[in-house]
Amino acid sequence: MADAKDKSFYCEVCLAGAGGQGLQLAGVILARAVALYEDRKVIMTSSYGPEARGGASKTELIISQEEIIYPKPTSLDIVLIMSSEAADKFGDSGKDGGILIADSTFVMKPPREPWLPFPITRTARAEFGTPLVSNIIALGILCGVTGIVKEDSLREAVAGRVPPRTKEINLAALARGIEMGKEKAQAKA
């Protein structure tokens, strides 16, 4: 994956999980973070179907410094997996050397090696009293592990996009996710 400061920056991301986990919103927040605060181009593709009711769904993003010609990812740099069904369907969709992050609350065994398991939904429930912030914790982890988006950009985008009365809890969830991501990235290094 290219360095975030590189002018030739180009990165493909897949957020996969179950309908209702808020990954489409997570995608919008990530897209707005890099487009509004880092002047990058983003194309986001979301599929809706029976999965909108709960089956495996995915949202894909291409983030680029330059114009994006072809809208479909061809070589995923980062894959986030939030459910066991998504692990079965998309767990092995990343490129060789890409980063695989998974919610170990639901994904018990590695869809492939290497992987980075995090207890995302378990943390949401235990520390925030609701699974609803799992998507924001996941975004934080993605930021902490990969550095593809700046923390400040993500904070602005979260604050601007979640319902006002949930802003505080979501910003706390984001901070927790960033912390979790950085810890593991450092432990790994």
| Binding positions for its own copies, rule: CB under 8 A | 24, 28, 31-32, 34-36, 39-50, 52-53, 68, 71-72, 163
Least separation in angstroms between CB 11 and its own copies = 14
Residue closer to its own copies (CB basis): 61 or 87 = 61
Q: Which is nearer to its own copies, 34 or 124 (CB)?
A: 34
d(CA 126, CA 63) in angstroms, rounded, equals: 33
Angle of helix 23-37 versus helix 134-146 axis, rounded to 10: 50
First to last CA, the chain: 16
Closest to its own copies by CB, 116 vs 162, is 162
Shortest CB 182 distance to its own copies, Å: 26
Q: How far is 68 from 183, CA to CA, in rounded Å?
A: 33
| Distance (Å, whole) CA 10 – CA 175 | 25
Query: Tokens 């991501």 sit at which residue?
Result: 181
Q: How far is the CB of 31 from its own copies (least distance, A)?
A: 4
Complex with its own copies: residue 57 or 121, whichever CB lies closer:
57
